[in-house]
Every structure is written in structure tokens, then in C-alpha cells.
Amino acid sequence: MKDLEIKEKLKEKFRELFGECENARFFFAPGRVNLIGEHTDYNGGHVFPCALSMGTYACVKKRQDGLFRFYSMNVESAGVITADEDSYKPLEDKQWASYLKGVIWAFQKRGVSFPTGLDLVLYGNIPNGSGLSSSASLEVLMGSILKEMYGLSVSFPEIALIGQYSENNYNGMNCGIMDQFASAMGKKDHAIFLDTATLEFSYAPLVLTDYALIITNTNKKHKLIGSAYNDRRRESEDALKILQKFAEIKTLGDLSDEEFFQLEEKLEDPIIRKRAKHAVLENNRTIAAKKALEEGNYHEFGRLMNLSHVSLRDDYEVSCEESDLLCDTAWSLPYVLGSRMTGGGFGGCTVSLVKRDKIKDFEEELQKVYEPKIGYRCSFYEAEIADGPREL
Ligand code: GAF
């Protein structure tokens, strides 16, 4: 569906639920796909994501009183959710709208008050539970809406940080900064090379001409809250604390591969050692992958993608049977340069670099193997790398 059609759909719903929508404004914030650099963003490492053309849209209008009312066309069963000033309950609020409420709450914690509230109708086209950051897109969308509707002087990197803060402290998911940053700072046809220790970043053009980035959805719903994500973060922090006794480092991202191998035996617990190994090597792989991409060396880029998946599977243990099957199959195809799980893991999507004229064959080959073994189908999207938030 095009922007215009989505706007019409939102308007219609807005009128039905909240009345006249004259003077309503329309906003969009994207989801993301990460090319490489997984589980490095809370380890002071680098990430290399891109914003997608898929994301979340909102029709918004100011109210006269202090209420915020939310409605999602994707979760119609939840009906209209109304938030007054007493209904912000960090870590207890467990509905879809808590991603929006968390951002309002985070702004309030920074001293911003909203004497009048908003009515919002939302529609998102990021597949549910796909690990393509629908929650970050909700957070960045809400941050952009508050910025524009109340004339707040807040930058987009700050909106990303507020989104992350709200996800950590309101929703209880200890995510890093990657998803919100990718959504807030997306640039059409560019990947974002972000140093998560300093938030310094640069854009790398993605001119893949003969190749395409294909996202394959396992359709296994991933749910990071309540999954092992927070455990992984704790394990990495434990590893850092031990290594800091032997090396002057602020984060695992400060270590080269060689330095890590010299120190690894200090990590006696084999699980902690594997987690740290992934965090260090994945960070250095990400730096190498960005260089390879800049040099137009797609074969090298693909090779590093594959190594990233192996490390996520074996050392960080955040993959799953479904993603492994998709990658194993992709690796066996001569026209695929690289394939890996993308995002937090435990389901969600893989991303593959596929020869453009072989996309159809790729999809057929994967489906042929996937459905009989897993019992349901996977789905495919060609990644369209797009800009960050915008007003429509
Ligand atoms: C999830 C988190 F939200 C990100 O911060 C990041 O850690 C990612 O998993 C793994 O790279 O998407």
C-alpha cells in the first residue's frame, strides 16, 4: 500500500473513532534490518543497520484535555487505549501502546510536560514479530510526533536515546541503541555504520546493482522480552568485569581479536567465554565488513555475514532451527554471497545477499526445504533501504 492509501485508511478510522480529522497530521517511522554487527550494541561495538521502507504510520490530532488516546489498526482487539496521567506504570504496562506511553513517560522524566494530549490512530506494515524492529519504529514515531506536535527541540539521535531509555526502563527490555538509532537516522540507499560506544556514525552507500538484500521471515514469532536477550546482556557484562581486571578496557568492543585470544583463558566459565568471543569478533567483523562494502568487495562482505551467523549460532546461541535451516540452504546456493540471522534472534528473519536475477530461484529453493521440515512457510521481502522518520 502506498503512503496515500495508508493516509486515507488512517483518516477513515480516525473519523470513525475520534470524529473530525481536519487539521490532523500524519507521521511515519521505519523499521530496520541489520546487515552485520549483532549483539554488539550493548557491548560498545559497531553495528551496520539500515532503515527500511516498512514502518509505522500515524494520524495525529491534538486534544483539549490532557489525555492521550491510542488505537492500532494492527491490534484492533485492544480497542482504544486511553492514558491519563496516572496510567504510566513502568515495567507493568504490557499492551502494544506501552511502547508509545513509555516514550511520553521518558519525555516527562526529562521535565517535558504535556498539558494537552493527543488522539492517535496507527497502522504498521512491519510483519508482526519479525524482528525488524516494529517496537523501535513505534518509539521513534512517538518521539517524532511529540517533537513536531509540541515544537520540542530534540534531535533525532536524542529521540533514539529516549526510545531506548523507554524500552529499557518502561518496557523492561534491556536493548542497545541500534534499532532506535537505525529508525531515527535512516538514509535512503545507505547503511549506518555506528560506533555504539561513542554514537559516532557515518553512512555507507549501498549500491548493490547486481545483488539484492533479501529478508526471509522464518515466521517463527520472536519475543525478546522474556527471552534469553537480557541473560545474554548480563553474561557479556560479567565477561567484561573479569577482563577489566587484566586489560584496560571500557567495553568488549575495545579488544582486537588477538587481544581477546590472549586473554580468553581468564574467562573460566565456558559460556561466558563464548559470549565474550562473539561480542569481540563480531565487532571486528563489522568493521571489516564495512571496509569490504566500501571497496565493492561483496564476496568478502558475504563471507563475513556467514561467519557472523555461525558465531551467533554457536557462541552467542541466539539462533534457532528455523534461521539455521534458512542460512544452511542459502549457503549452498552459488548465487548467494552471504546469509545470516538479523536482529535479536530466537526466530525473526534472516538477511541474504542474492544475485538479483536469481531472486525467484532463491525463494523457491528455500521454501522447498523450509516448509516440509518446519511445517509452515517462510516469507520473503526485498529490502528497500529508506529514510528515517518523516511527516507525510
Ligand atoms: C535487538 C535489540 F533491540 C538491539 O538493541 C540489538 O541488541 C539486537 O537485538 C541484536 O543485535 O534488536
Interface predicted TM-score of the whole assembly (ipTM), two decimals:
0.99
The finding on whether 41 has its CB within 6 A of some atom of ligand 1 is yes
- State the pLDDT confidence band at 85, using cuts at 50, 70 and 90: confident
* Cα–Cα dist 29/136, whole Å: 9
Q: How do residues 369-389 score in pLDDT, each as one tens digit?
A: 999 999 999 999 999 999 999
Largest Cα–Cα distance in the chain? 67
Q: Provide the pLDDT for residue 134.
A: 95
342 C-alpha vs ligand 1 centroid, how far in Å?
9
178 C-alpha vs ligand 1 centroid, how far in Å?
6
Closest residue by CA, ligand 1 atom 5: 176
The finding on whether 175 has its CB within 6 A of some atom of ligand 1 is yes
Is 70 exceeded by the pLDDT of residue 221?
Answer: no
- State the pLDDT confidence band at 222, using cuts at 50, 70 and 90: low
Closest residue by CA, ligand 1 atom 2: 175
Q: Provide the pLDDT for residue 1.
A: 79
The stretch 254-261 carries a mean pLDDT of 98
Is 80 exceeded by the pLDDT of residue 110?
Answer: yes
Q: Provide the pLDDT for residue 208.
A: 86
DSSP secondary structure letters along 22-68: TT-EEEEEEEEEESS--S-TTTT-EE-EEEEEEEEEEEEEE-SSS-E
DSSP secondary structure letters along 253-289: GG--HHHHHHHGGG--SHHHHHHHHHHHHHHHHHHHH
Of the candidates 354, 29, 50, 390, the one whose C-alpha atom is nearest the C-alpha of residue 204 is 50
The stretch 67-72 carries a mean pLDDT of 98
CA dihedral over 117, 123, 124, 128, signed as positive or negative: positive
The 3-state DSSP class for residue 247 equals coil
Q: Provide the pLDDT for residue 359.
A: 98
β-sheet with 211-217: strand ranges across = 336-342, 349-355, 211-217, 379-382
* Ligand 1: nearest atom to the Cα of 47: 11
Question: How many CA atoms are closer than 13 Å to the CA of 325, on its beta-carbon side?
Answer: 22
Closest residue by CA, ligand 1 atom 3: 175
DSSP secondary structure letters along 304-353: HHHHHHHHHHHTS----HHHHHHHHHHHTSTTEEEEEEESS-SSSEEEEE
* Cα–Cα dist 187/191, whole Å: 7
* Cα–Cα dist 343/182, whole Å: 12
* Cα–Cα dist 252/176, whole Å: 14
Q: Which CATH architecture has domain 3-205?
A: 2-Layer Sandwich (3.30)
* Ligand 1: nearest atom to the Cα of 344: 9
131 C-alpha vs ligand 1 centroid, how far in Å?
9
Pocket residue to mutate for ligand 1, from 39, 282, 318, most atoms within 8 A of Cβ:
39
Residue 73 contacts residue 6 (beta carbons within 8 Å): no
The stretch 71-95 carries a mean pLDDT of 94
Q: Provide the pLDDT for residue 59.
A: 98
Is 80 exceeded by the pLDDT of residue 223?
Answer: no
Is 70 exceeded by the pLDDT of residue 269?
Answer: yes
85 C-alpha vs ligand 1 centroid, how far in Å?
30
Q: Which three cell numbers stand for residue 202?
A: 557515518
Q: Provide the pLDDT for residue 207.
A: 84
Closest residue by CA, ligand 1 atom 1: 344
Alpha helices in 110-207 (DSSP H): 134-150, 156-169, 178-185
85 φ, ψ to 5°?
A: -65, -15
Is 60 exceeded by the pLDDT of residue 8?
Answer: yes
345 C-alpha vs ligand 1 centroid, how far in Å?
8
* Cα–Cα dist 162/280, whole Å: 27
Name the pTM for this structure.
0.97
Q: Provide the pLDDT for residue 297.
A: 95
Binding residues: 38-41, 72, 129-135, 167, 229
* Ligand 1: nearest atom to the Cα of 229: 9
Q: Provide the pLDDT for residue 23.
A: 92
Active site residues: 179
The stretch 249-271 carries a mean pLDDT of 98
The finding on whether 39 has its CB within 6 A of some atom of ligand 1 is yes
Q: Provide the pLDDT for residue 249.
A: 98
Q: How do residues 317-357 score in pLDDT, each as one tens digit?
A: 999 999 999 999 999 999 999 999 999 999 999 999 999 99
Residue 362 contacts residue 330 (beta carbons within 8 Å): yes
202 C-alpha vs ligand 1 centroid, how far in Å?
19
* Ligand 1: nearest atom to the Cα of 178: 5
Q: Provide the pLDDT for residue 200.
A: 98
The finding on whether 38 has its CB within 6 A of some atom of ligand 1 is yes
Exposed/middle/buried for residue 239 (C-beta within 10 Å: 0-12, 13-18, 19+): buried
Of the candidates 56, 34, 185, the one whose C-alpha atom is nearest the C-alpha of residue 126 is 56
Q: List Cα–Cα distances, 57 to 269, 319, 369, in angstroms.
A: 46, 30, 35
Is 70 exceeded by the pLDDT of residue 86?
Answer: yes
Is 70 exceeded by the pLDDT of residue 27?
Answer: yes
The finding on whether 191 has its CB within 6 A of some atom of ligand 1 is no
Binding residues for Mg(2+): 135, 167
Of the candidates 289, 327, 298, 334, the one whose C-alpha atom is nearest the C-alpha of residue 212 is 298
Q: Tell me what the pLDDT averaged over the chain comes to.
A: 96
The stretch 5-29 carries a mean pLDDT of 96
Could you identify the residue written with the cell 526485498?
A: 382
Of the candidates 185, 137, 146, 182, the one whose C-alpha atom is nearest the C-alpha of residue 35 is 182
Pocket residue to mutate for ligand 1, from 43, 175, 222, 346, most atoms within 8 A of Cβ:
175
Q: Please give the distance of CA 3 from its chain centroid, rounded to a whole number.
A: 22
Lowest-confidence region among 184-193, 226-235, 251-260, 287-296: 226-235
β-pair type (118-124, 68-72) = parallel
Q: How do residues 152-170 score in pLDDT, each as one tens digit?
A: 999 999 999 999 999 999 9
* Cα–Cα dist 25/30, whole Å: 17
Pocket residue to mutate for ligand 1, from 178, 252, 278, 305, most atoms within 8 A of Cβ:
178
13 C-alpha vs ligand 1 centroid, how far in Å?
33
Residue 331 contacts residue 306 (beta carbons within 8 Å): yes
* Cα–Cα dist 79/238, whole Å: 43
* Cα–Cα dist 216/33, whole Å: 11
